[in-house]
Chain A
Amino acid sequence: DIQMTQSPSSVSASVGDRVTITCRASQGISSWLAWYQQKPGKAPKLLIYAASSLQSGVPSRFSGSGSGTDFTLTISSLQPEDFATYYCQQANSFPQTFGQGTKVEIK
Chain B
Amino acid sequence: QLQLQESGPGLVKPSETLSLTCTVSGGSISSSSYYWGWIRQPPGKGLEWIGSIYYSGSTYYNPSLKSRVTISVDTSKNQFSLKLSSVTAADTAVYYCARFARSPTDAFDIWGQGTMVTVSS
A binding-site residues for B, Cβ under 8 Å:
1, 32, 34, 36, 42-46, 49-50, 53, 55, 87, 89, 91, 94-101
Contacts and interface: CB of A to CB of B under 8 A. Distances in A.
Main secondary structure of the interface of A (DSSP, over half): loop
Interface of B: 37, 46-49, 52, 60-64, 96, 98, 100-101, 104-109, 111-114
B46 A34 contact: no
Given A1-B63, A95-B63, A101-B46, A43 B107 contact: no
A26 to B, nearest CB: 15
A98 B107 contact: no
A43 B109 CA distance: 11
A43 B112 contact: yes
A87 B47 contact: yes
A94 B60 contact: yes
A89 B108 CA distance: 9
